[in-house]
Structures are given as structure tokens and as C-alpha cells.
Amino acid sequence: MEKISNNLVIGIDYGTDSARAMLMDAETGKELALSVKEYPRWKKGLYCDPVNFQFRQHPLDYIEVLEYIVNDVVRTVPDSKNKIKALAIDVTCSTPIVVDKEGTPLALRSDFAENPNGMFILWKDHTGVRDCDQINEFSKKWHTDYTRYCGGGGNYSAEHFWAKALHIFRVDPEVKEVGYSFVDACDWLSNVIVGINKPEELKRNICTAGFKVLWNKEWGGYPPNDFFKSLDPALDGIVDTFSKKVYTCVEPIGNLTEEWAKRLGLTTQVKVAAGNIDAHAGGIGAGVKNKAIVQIIGTSTCDIIVGPKSNENTLISGISGQADDSVIPGMVGYEAGQSVYGDYYAWFKKVLMWPLREIFAKTEYIDGATKEKVIQEVYDKMIPELARQAKVIPATDSHIVATDWINGRRTPNVDYDLKGTITGLTLSSSAPLLYKSIVEATAYGSRAIVEQFINNGIEIEEIIAVGGISQKSPYVMQVLSDVLGMPIKVIATREACALGVAMCAAVTAGVYSKLEEAQEKMGMGISTIYYPNEENHSHYNIEYKKYQQLEKIKDLTK
């Protein structure tokens, strides 16, 4: 193995289905090892009710996976243990959990071990939609609109912290009786491994606080308890369990405890950075900077952009939010995104697989082993073959227009009551043509976000893409470029989030003085650039207007 420096760092990224640890040489920017593991209980579908938009994850999934992936990368690189200087963690967000007075997540107690309301409430859990509506309505009537920085006000999301906390305490009196506070997953994980447990002592990060928990320096931190108590007595006292200070993504919050150093195969000399939001980490890893938007494209999307603080009083309407010193400390961070992207394609695939799973799988004419092989082969080849055939259909031959609201709309202008639509069907509509329309719909949703930023005075000169779809779906990326009418640069890593928090860890360790320097030294470069086809772009300009018109019938889709 090549010689490694004495300044190694670990970036840990908790995604929707799995977590990964990336061991990097902070001096050379070389990735030394990567370990990925799925959450065992989540993989079995436990504690979830998709029909009712309930998605929960057990804290044991997070703990067990953390121990596995960190030990795995340390074992992979001999003699790395004593050279690892820092680690940082990001998690999908907002993913809060209720804790007791000692800071123990309720699902880690025997009396709530199987109660989904005592578990992490995943980002895509939409059980708190009605509760969120009340938060937005109440905020506009209060003397200070604390949703002011959520898309210009009134765009607080059901995916965010307070909507979920309010919902849990309303629907589960037993959890409310024992519950003392709430903490987001990235803060809980980062704090627990440095030995901080009590809610009042937790060192929470500014990214989660500013984007999801309504913290802002304009009103001196979090909204006061009077606001939450007046909104609903169920929230009385929760905000008073939060410490006043918040931390940027590069600030150390402590060192590994002896217990956690042993459990992770590391030393107590390892510094731990404040937690981070996965999308923000992905933006960092992809090289987000002023006038460059990073699109993190996976099951859903997050669009991350930063700007100078001279723009800090410019409110961007309709987006998820904005916060000073988030993403890149010293700049204003902005976040938007789509509720589905790859999930839309997965839904269509699931629909097409129905006869195989429900009819073919039960036939008596073929042996079980053969049936399983046929089903698996069709499953593996379906999307690539749909993409191959959709690619050869001229854009001008498309007669179907779909919308990407099949899981509601995150931005622009949050509305989780929206449903997806597919219009313009004829007897000649084929499966590849339907797939083509779905891919175009996700691209139209992306364009709506880009235009929302531009129309509100944010300059965008560069589009950078990361995430699984950007790496493995050339057809999808070409359609996206054609719809946007702009080149798209794909970063040469599938693990931009883990890379981003590794960069944060490098600053925490003191290897670099600021995040921009770490980005320059540790960045992975560009693997592919997609350029727009001007003829297709002209056609999509017309089709995009039809997509926009479909919003006028949104009341029929609720």
C-alpha cells in the first residue's frame, strides 16, 4: 500500500437505507477505504406504514451500523488507527427522536423498544402534515413570523423537526408522558460518542438548527417557549431543553470517549465535529460555491447553493430555507429539493413487476428456482431497457406530460397534499414512453427549483450533480440537461456526502484552516459533463409550460 500521512479522517454518512464510512488521507485527498452497510431492521420494513406515510428507524440500526462500518475501514488500512485525527457525521434530515430527561431515546428503553413513536422519524415521514399546516398558520398570526426564513415564510415543512415533534406528542400520550426533549439524528450520534447525553448539554449544529428547528440570530436563537406553548401546550418546555449555542459543521464538540473509542476501534485522541445534514455535506463534497448549485440526485433530491452574506437579508420565497453560516461557514446557505426522483422510477418499476410477482411467481408450470431467476433478471434489466428504448424516442414524439408530485412537493412552495399526474395518454402510449414522461417530470421539477432561485435574484452559472442517479443513469442526466438548457458537471464520486463530512473533519482536525481549502485539496474532480441538445431544449420549453399549467388543477389531485 502507498505511504499514508499522519492526518487521516473519517466521514460518516447516514442515508435513507444504509450508512457508509469513508477513510481519507486529508493531506493527499486520497480515499483509503469505504464501508457500506444497510440498516437491518429498516431492510425488513419494520416500524413503517407507507400507506400512511409513516417511516421510522430504530436507533439500534444506527448504532450497530456505526460500529460495523468504522471498524471495517480501520481494519482495511493497516496502521491507520493512530493516524486518524477526526471524524464527522451527517444524517438525512430532519430525522428527530424523542428522548427522556437523561437523553436516552425512548426506543432504547425496554418500555418503548417496539413503539415507532419512540424511534427516529425519517425525513420522508409525512405523518405530521396537518400539524405542520397549523405551525405555518399560527406563525403568520404571531407577532414574529418564525417561519420567515423558510421560503419567505409559511413554507415550514412536514419533513421538519417541529411538525414531527408536535405530531408525536399529540398522538401518543404515553410517549408524551415520558418524553422530555427531541434531538435530530446527526446531533444525537455526534454527541453520544463524545459522552454528551443530557438534552441541555447537547452541542447542536447550526445547519439543522437554522434550517429545521427555526433557530436564527435575528430573534436571538430559537423562538421562545411562549410561542410553542401558545401554538400547542404539547410543545411546552421543549425549546428550553436546548442549549443556546449552536456549532458550525467544522467545530469540534469533543473527543471520543474511552467506551466509544474501543467500540469503534479508534483512540480517544479522535476529535468529533458537530453534526451535519446529509444534503449540506453532499454540497460540500461536490464543491458548492457562490453561483454554483449542487443537485444531489437520488431517491429524492436536495439542491444546495451558497452566497455571500451581503445577500443575507434577501429572502428566497418557496424554498426549504436559508441560514447564515450553514453549509459553508461565513456564507449564507440555501436549500431546496424534490420529494421524489429515483423513487418515482422505482414506483413505475414496481407497477410493471406486479404480474410477475403476483401471477407468474405462483404458476405451477415452472419450478421455483427458475421463476426466481426470471423475476430477478426482469427486475435487474427493466430500468436499463426502458431507458434504452426511451432514449431513441424523439423528444418531439412525446405526447405525455407527467408531474413529479407523487410524494407531494417539497419545493418550490411546499404542498404535501399534491398527488402525481400523468396526462395525454393514448392507445399508442407504451411503457418506454410512460417512463420517458416520468423522467421528464422529474427534470421539470428540477427546472422549477432552478428558476425559483434565479427569479429571486440568486445567480446560477454552474450546475454540479452528485448522487447515485448522476453516476449510473446517463439517459436521466441527458434529459435533465436538455430540460434545464445548461451543462451539468457530474462529480467523480458516488459518496459526496461522506466526502463532504470528511472535509469537515479535516478542518476540525486542524489540517486545513477553512472548509474551502479542504474542498480544494480533497475534491474528487469531474467525471462527466452533459451538454444540452438545443433542439430538445426548445421542445422542452413548450412541454414545461404544460407541466406548469397542470398545477392549476392541483385541487383535483389532493
Cα(146)–Cα(150) distance, rounded to whole angstroms?
Answer: 8
Amino acid 310: pLDDT: 83
pLDDT score of 294 more than 70: yes
Amino acid 398: pLDDT: 81
Amino acid 553: pLDDT: 76
Rounded to 5°, the CA angle 80-26-24 comes to 55
User: Which alpha helices (H) appear in 332-404, and where do they start and end?
Assistant: 342-358, 368-391
1-98+183-209+247-558 carries CATH number 3.40.120.10: no
C-alpha cell at 553: 388543477
Count the residues in the chain. Answer: 558
Cα(303)–Cα(294) distance, rounded to whole angstroms?
Answer: 6
Amino acid 397: pLDDT: 84
For the segment 434-484, what is each residue's pLDDT rounded down to a tens digit? 999 999 999 999 999 999 999 999 999 999 999 999 999 999 999 999 999
Amino acid 524: pLDDT: 93
Amino acid 170: pLDDT: 98
pLDDT score of 172 more than 90: yes
pLDDT score of 312 more than 70: no
- Categorize the per-residue pLDDT at 152 as very low, low, confident or very high, splitting at 50, 70 and 90: confident
pLDDT score of 551 more than 90: no
Mean pLDDT confidence for 17-31? 97
Percent of the chain with pLDDT over 90: 94
Percent of the chain with pLDDT over 70: 98
pLDDT score of 97 more than 80: yes
Domain boundaries, the chain: 1-98+183-209+247-558
Model confidence, pTM: 0.93
Mean pLDDT confidence for 86-112? 98
DSSP secondary structure code for residue 473 in this structure: -
pLDDT score of 554 more than 70: no
Q: Which of 512, 468, 516, 514 is nearest to 491 (CA)?
A: 468
Mean pLDDT confidence for 87-101? 97
- Categorize the per-residue pLDDT at 433 as very low, low, confident or very high, splitting at 50, 70 and 90: very high
Mean pLDDT confidence for 201-206? 98
Cα(516)–Cα(518) distance, rounded to whole angstroms?
Answer: 5
Residue identified by cell 483512540 is 267
Is 415 in a helix, a strand, or coil? strand
For the segment 51-85, what is each residue's pLDDT rounded down to a tens digit? 999 999 999 999 999 999 999 999 999 999 999 99
Amino acid 113: pLDDT: 98
Q: What are phi and psi of 248, to 5 degrees?
A: -75, 165
Amino acid 2: pLDDT: 75
Cα(106)–Cα(118) distance, rounded to whole angstroms?
Answer: 5
Residue identified by cell 392541483 is 554
Is 293 in a helix, a strand, or coil? strand
Amino acid 556: pLDDT: 58
